[in-house]
A and B are shown apart, each in its own frame.
Chain A
Amino acid sequence: MYYRQAGQFYTTYSQDSRIIPVREDRWIIYVVVLAGFCLVPFFASDYWLSGILIPWLALSLVALGQNILMGYTGQLSLGSAGFMAAGAFACYNIELRIEWMPFFGSLILSGIIAAMIGIVFGLPSLRVRGLYLMVATLASQFFIIWVIDKFGWFKNYDSSGIITAQDIVIFGKSFTTPAEEYLVCLFVCAVMTVIALNMVRGSVGRNWMAVRDMDVAAEVMGISLLKTKLQAFAISSFYCGVGGALFAFAFLKSMEPVAFDILLSFRILFMVIIGGLGTIIGCYLGAGFILLMPVFLNIFFHAVFGQAVDATLTSALEQVIFGVMIILFMIYQPLGMARILEIMQERLRKWPFKI
């Protein structure tokens, strides 16, 4: 009733294909983003900012990268954490070695470096598909970590193998408090999300999806499979690289290559699948779910059992419940959280005439 599309007429094609076509949705998004910039930094506790919101934003960006490749282009891949590591260590080395480079410059460059590595590891996609491709991309995960581990140069020959990320400095101002770091992450996420939305609703995204849905027909329409697939690998890796750099610089702070192990890749895969393959909002929802669920379960168990039960037992239980929830999710809503949101919008549109 109050949320409705009736009466909103589009008189130009650009109006019809804008990012958020429904006026109410647009307002909701504006308000959420504005609150994210203006209210959250002041009211959220440091724990929430640096423990939850910052990793959420950084990993959402990585999930976005994974989704571009898997959800939009249909190329199964498992190795996003490897590209995160590439981005993180690239950013560290650029900050270390190129003094005049502004932080955003380092961030973009690390993305580009990750993208170039992505192109190389995307080459198998021209030959194999499905699970075979997934196994091939797995190589990137191990190879990148191995290279960073093996050659001390990447870690500035630190004897412990652990590096400490430099402070984020933008226009001479250092962003070191949780709120400031959060703002940097939010800004990068906002910009890169708009860019992703532009790509997926334009010719670039149509080519990706065409290759995903029917590659022979795509080729016959004049879409180059080689270019489209490698482009998707590059852009996906760019997002993973930038997300990884943010993850390292705003969240981990000090890190070693093994922080970016295969388990992290799996978590990102879950985020994308639970959030919704082939949706942008799903990346944020999925990342939120995967990050927050364990926290909530933990709080819940503490509240119920207190100290009565052994901590190792509760943490094992948490894992089991978390796993079961993922399975139930996949059974009842295989299209992910983005689809749930869509169904809710659909209901809301008809309410209260139809429930």
Chain B
Amino acid sequence: MSVSAQAEPASRAFPIGEPILELDSISLRFGGVKAITDVSFDVREHEIRAIIGPNGAGKSSMLNVINGLYTPQEGNITFRGQRIDNMTPAKAASLGISRTFQNIALFKRMSVLDNIMAGRTLFSHATFLEVAFQLPRARREERQNREKAEEIIEFLEIEHIRKTTVSQLPYGLQKRVELGRALAAEPQVLLLDEPMAGMNVEEKQDMCRFVLDVNDHYGTTFVLIEHDMGVVMDISDRVVVLDYGKTIGDGTPDEVRNNQDVIDAYLGVAH
């Protein structure tokens, strides 16, 4: 598929900057299974960084390490030049790292609006007593969060379903709502785990447009896992390729495309 070509670097509102996230020789094992072995790469501010690789390569595990769901046995994570020991999901959230999941992890019995509002947790400081008695701070925060949520709803073109329970939505829309919930946190870094899996061409195009627009408008840094090579080559600035938990390529889409190891991995050459 083809998406409108990537804007020239010079015309970007947020030019690619210093590394915001650095992963240094990360190794992760589950018992005897080596999910990730000595993987290092960095993510620069404002860039769109793709992670690709065959099934079971350790891509999702990598995202889980970045936002603290998994703790690697070895390696360091550095965020904005600061080493983060024992990353936890809460710490990642407070650093401005947000994400979506490979298997949609929405709050199924809540409405679209409530899902997106739940993404605003970091901007809700009112205690339960303030909420219970509807004191000014609770009311003000609720209104501000609602305004931001509506901005996202409008941007993602899901106004017509804002009060619909998420479980009643088709798959493609659920993926979009999940992106909305992640965006609601106004993240610095947004991790997307196969945001376009199972979508048709039109839905993929929409999703690409949203990613590029967010990157362009807010300068959000993206780390995205994607199997669709067309998408990856079109929208990403740099690509890291994993295979059996190891890095086998890292560079611009063109460099990666012409890398012999990568070609072998994708064509299934025996190791």
Which of A's residues lie within 8 Å of B, judged by CB?
13-14, 17, 195, 198-199, 202-204, 206-207, 209-210, 212-214, 216-224, 231, 235, 278
Contacts and interface: CB of A to CB of B under 8 A. Distances in A.
Nearest to A232: B128
B121 interface: yes
Nearest to B150: A13
Main secondary structure of the interface of B (DSSP, over half): helix
B61 to A, nearest CB: 14
Contacts of A213: 106-110
B138 to A, nearest CB: 6
26 contacts: A13-B146, A14-B139, A14-B143, A17-B146, A203-B117, A203-B121, A203-B138, A206-B110, A207-B118, A209-B107, A213-B107, A214-B108, A216-B69, A216-B105, A218-B118, A219-B89, A219-B90, A220-B67, A220-B92, A221-B121, A221-B122, A221-B185, A222-B121, A222-B122, A223-B121, A231-B128
Interface in B46-95: 67, 69, 89-90, 92-94
Given A210-B107, A213-B109, A195 B143 contact: no
Contacts of A209: 107, 109-110, 114, 118
Interface in B135-190: 138-139, 141-143, 145-147, 150, 181, 185
Contacts of B267: none
B158 to A, nearest CB: 16
B163 to A, nearest CB: 9
User: When A and B form their complex, which 5 residue pairs have the shortest distance between CB atoms, in order from nearest?
Assistant: A222-B93, A213-B107, A217-B105, A202-B131, A203-B124
B138 A222 contact: no
Contacts, number: 100
Contacts of A13: 142-143, 146-147, 150
B99 interface: yes
Given A14-B139, A222-B122, A195 B133 contact: yes
Given A220-B67, A221-B118, A222-B121, A203 B109 contact: no
B215 interface: no
A231 B132 CA distance: 13
A304 B146 CA distance: 58
B166 to A, nearest CB: 9
B142 A202 contact: yes
B236 interface: no
Nearest to A278: B109
Nearest to B128: A204
Given A203-B142, A216-B69, A223 B118 contact: yes
B210 interface: no
B247 interface: no
Interface residues of B, number: 40
B105 A206 contact: no
A202 B118 CA distance: 10
A68 to B, nearest CB: 11
B118 A210 contact: yes
Given A13-B146, A17-B146, A204 B93 contact: no
B260 interface: no
A305 B133 CA distance: 52
Contacts of B106: 213-214, 217
B134 interface: yes
B195 interface: no
A221 B93 contact: yes
Given A198-B131, A202-B142, A210-B107, 18 more contacts: A14-B139, A14-B142, A203-B117, A203-B121, A203-B124, A203-B131, A203-B145, A206-B118, A207-B118, A209-B109, A213-B106, A213-B108, A214-B108, A216-B105, A219-B89, A220-B69, A221-B185, A222-B94
Given A198-B131, A207-B118, A209-B107, A217 B101 contact: yes
A218 B110 CA distance: 13
B114 A206 contact: yes
Contact of A220 (B93, B132, B143): B93
A9 B110 CA distance: 23
Contacts of A207: 118, 121
Contacts of B134: 198, 202
B245 interface: no
A230 to B, nearest CB: 11
Given A214-B105, A221-B181, A278-B109, A195 B132 contact: yes
Given A214-B106, A223-B118, A199 B139 contact: no
